[in-house]
Amino acid sequence: MAIGMFLLVVVAGGASAGIFYVEGSQAAVYAQVAIIPLLVVVGYLWVNQTIQSTGTSRTEFERRKARKLGEQFSDVWQLAQRIETEYPEGITAAEWEELERYVGDLDSNGIAFDPDSGTFDVGSRNLGSLEDINRLENEMGDLDGWVLAQVTENIQSRIREVNTTLERLSGLVADPWTVDPETVPAGGPDRYDTTQSWQEVGGYLDDCYQAADEVVEDACGALQDALTSTDSASQEAEELLSDARQAATGRRYDAAVADILDARDMVERDAATTFDDQQSAIEALLRTASNKSFDRYLGPSYQEELDGYAGELRSFDDAIEIAELRRVRDAVRDTCLAVVEELEGQLDEAIDALEGADVPDGWYERPPAAETSFVQTLRSSSDITAFRSEFDTAADSLLSALEAVKPKASVVTGFDRVESQITETLRTEGSVTGADLPVSDLEEQFLGLYYRKHMDEVDFDPNVPQLVMAGGGEEYTVDVSVAFPEGGPEREVTVTLSGSTTRERRCRTPLVAEASFEEVPYGEYTLRAEPADDSYGSVERTVTVDDDISVGLELAEVSLRDKLCEGVDIDIDQILPTISSRFESRFEEESYLSTEMSFPVDSEYIPCLLAVWAQREGHDATRHDGKVIVYDTERLRKEIENVIRYNLDPGESKSYDALRGNFLSAPVSDSTVQELVRGSSEQDVVAVEPTQLTKEEQS
């Protein structure tokens, strides 16, 4: 408008200047007097028109604020109507009274509101002042939030009311609660959808009603079961339960609970006698079952189940629990039926094992219980008292039959393995007791079955129990021949037979030694030949003595080094260089080495080290009196030759001990001295005897 006014002044000035230029100053003055009033009129009209067209007058401003206030209240009113339509419990009369008070305030300020349609109209007259409209606008600023907060409180209150009502059914239903009201979220608009929060709150009420319906149905179902369990059903109670279901459908839970409790009183009155009779019958069945020792065949699980049902039964003290009583009764029946069925199965398995095995006639008798189907009889018994009687008979018959045939079936199953051991022990020892068997029980049964199958061979004493072979155990003769690989002087060999007994024979032979073992019990033995001469290795063989047998053993030459180093777990090549100098110096001092001498090495390795050192240095090694001795063969031979030449007269003798003590530089064995004599130049002039040398008479 300022720019418009400026342009008008410029136009007026321009017009005056033009007139002055064309007509002169006088005309210009007249023109100025005419133009200025015209500009004032035009400017006024234009400004007034502009103000009216843009609505900037105070009246128009008030009308616009009134219209905005009406729109705001209309939204809140329609929100309340939508909530009431979907959740009547969310909006109560108190909220409507508050909203209707605002309707009156709007009307007094010229805003006519129609509650039925939720619309409004701003009148052209009697509009409230701007101050009144602003005040009302401030009061209604958070009206929608207040409505939603009230919805949350009302729904929480309704859930509490339903829970309190249903709590009266706690005696019929284990958990009568629906929804925890404290979990209901606070209602209010969110930034996405103003209706989302109140709908979420309403969802909790839906969950509450759904759970409440289930509680009512559970209570009605419990009473319905109790009615069918009594001898006479109450028609009036049936009608009350039907009314309760209808009341729950209409959300009238007070009425539903009242009908259910009235029906419960009727059922308790009618079911008391039936309840006591059923409880007594089930207790009698449980006592009967607890007196049966079927756990020795079936384990403790079934008895534990029955004990659990007995505990449950003792907790029932109200006739209204007759439905639970029926459940326990059926469970006890099923458990007892399972017990009989499994006992029958084990009896059938035992009989099949016995009939499929090769057992002597008369060793067992087929029990009469195997010909009866106790399970079928129990299944056809509907009365609990009759069922108890049938179960008592079935359990006693089956347990008695199992006691007779189960042990024998177990014996038959493992008899093949035990039979061979009994036979072996009888052949070896001549008798078998229960302690000799590889079983933890049923020893008498195993021995008895063996006796039945071998009556001509053994006698049986069941009191021990013991089997005795007729004529005692088997005994045989074992002849052994031990051969050296080549002939030579007489050499000693020890023959050992070890097994159930251990026997030993020593013999001397130049080539083949004979040894005989008599009355050897039946069994498996280890036969070993151990030559005294270190030049030969021992030989061992396993033999089975089940008849008179002859066994030949051949000895093989073996170096003393191999024998001494057998089983040595050290690196000889690494240790020997560090001790060779000690061996050499000691050998030069003593003319021999012995394991009795002290060396800086573990004593268990000295024999092997000496044998290896002797071999590498060209010396000989021998073993005498448990000692290993390293000596110089040529030196000893010369010493022996000198003794024969210069220290023995014809016909004179010298013992080997005297030779070692007075003439020889090494304490070698008698056999070594004998070998040295035979290899000497004087062998023809002496007689080599077992304990001495004798120089022969000159002819």
Position 522 scores a pLDDT of: 79
Do 601 and 638 fall within a single domain? yes
The average pLDDT across 179-183 equals 84
Task: Give the best-scoring range by mean pLDDT among 178-182, 185-189, 405-409, 454-458.
Answer: 178-182
Count of other CB atoms within 10 angstroms of residue 264: 23
Residue 171 shares a structural domain with residue 71:
no
pLDDT at residue 416, as a whole number:
62
Whether 117 and 219 share a structural domain: no
Q: Where would I find the H helices in 543-690?
A: 560-565, 572-590, 606-617, 633-646, 656-662, 670-678
Return mean pLDDT, the chain: 80
Confidence of residue 638 (pLDDT cuts 50, 70, 90): very high
Instruction: Report d(CA 306, CA 379) in Å as an integer.
Output: 19
Long-range own/partner contacts, residues 587-590 (CB < 8 A, 24 or more apart) = 587/619, 587/630, 590/665
Instruction: Answer yes or no: do 652 and 587 share one domain.
Output: yes
Q: Which residue has the tokens 């929060």?
A: 197
Share of the chain above pLDDT 90, in %: 8
For 73-123, how does the pLDDT look when each residue is reduced to its tens digit (9 = 90+)?
Answer: 888 888 888 888 888 888 888 888 888 888 887 777 777 788 877 788 776
Cα–Cα distance measured from residue 236 to residue 241, given in angstroms and rounded to the nearest whole number? 9
Residue 629 has pLDDT above 80, yes or no: yes
pLDDT of residue 302: 87
Q: Considering only CA atoms, which of 443, 403, 406 is closest in space to residue 421?
A: 443
- Which of 205, 245, 229 is closest to 279 using CA atoms? 229
- For 131-149, the pLDDT digits (tens) are 777 887 787 777 878 888 8
pLDDT of residue 191: 40
pLDDT at position 193, please?
A: 46
pLDDT of residue 50: 61
pLDDT at res. 192: 40
Report whether 286 contacts 333 (CB < 8 A). Answer: no
One domain for residues 483 and 426: no
- Which tokens is 411 given? 């014996």
- Neighbouring residues of 692: CB distance < 8 A, sequence distance ≥ 6: 653, 654, 655, 656
Give the domain range for residue 669. 561-695
Q: Which residue has the tokens 């007196």?
A: 291
* Ranges 268-272, 564-568, 675-679, most confident: 675-679
pLDDT band with cut points at 50, 70 and 90 for residue 281: confident
- Give the per-residue pLDDT at 630: 92
* In the predicted structure, residue 496 carries a pLDDT above the cut 90: yes
pLDDT at 254 over 80: yes
Last residue within a domain, chosen from 141, 173, 189:
141
Per-residue model confidence (pLDDT) at position 697:
79
Asked whether residue 23 carries a pLDDT value surpassing 50, the answer given is yes
Q: Is the confidence at residue 255, as pLDDT, over 90?
A: yes
385/299 same-domain check: yes
Confidence band (pLDDT; 50, 70, 90) for 223?
Answer: confident
Confidence at residue 76, expressed as pLDDT on a 0 to 100 scale: 85
Buried b (16+ CB within 10 A) or exposed e, 419-447: eeebbebbbbbbbbbbebbeeeebbbbbb
SS3 state at 467: strand
HSE at residue 140, side-chain half, CA atoms within 13 A, is: 25
Q: What value does the mean pLDDT take over residues 626-654?
A: 90
pLDDT of 31: 67
285, 311: one domain: yes
- For residue 696, what are its two tokens? 């022969």
Reduce the secondary structure of 36-86 to three states and give it as a string.
HHHHHHHHHHHHHHHHHHHCCCHHHHHHHHHHHHHHHHHHHHHHHHHHHHH
pLDDT at residue 201, as a whole number: 82
- Say if residue 579 is in the same domain as residue 602: yes
* Chain mean position to CA 28: 119
**566 pLDDT exceeds 80?**
no
Q: Give the domain-ending residue among 275, 298, 325.
A: 275
- For the chain, what is the domain count? 7
Q: What is the pLDDT of residues 297-348, one digit of tens each?
A: 888 888 888 888 888 777 666 544 555 667 787 888 899 999 999 998 988 8
Residues 203 and 234 in one domain: yes
Q: Band of the pLDDT at 258, cuts 50, 70, 90?
A: very high
Q: What is the DSSP letter of 648?
A: -
State pLDDT tens for residues 405-451. 887 777 776 666 777 777 777 676 677 777 767 566 666 776 777 77
pLDDT computed for residue 195 by the predictor: 43
Looking at residue 572, the DSSP 8-state letter turns out to be: H
| CB 671 within 8 Å of CB 677 | no
Average pLDDT for 609-628? 87
Q: Minimum mean pLDDT among 68-82, 106-120, 273-287, 504-518: which range?
A: 273-287
Instruction: Examine the domain organization and report whether 127 and 169 are in the same domain.
Output: no
pLDDT, tens digit, 9 for 90 and up, residues 27-69: 666 666 677 677 767 776 766 666 555 544 566 777 788 788 7
Question: Which pLDDT value is given to residue 115?
Answer: 83
577 and 554 within one domain? no
Instruction: Indicate whether 195 and 227 sit together in one domain.
Output: yes
Q: Given 440, 469, 498, which residue is the final one in a domain?
A: 469
Predicted confidence (pLDDT) per residue in 684-693, tens digit:
888 888 889 9
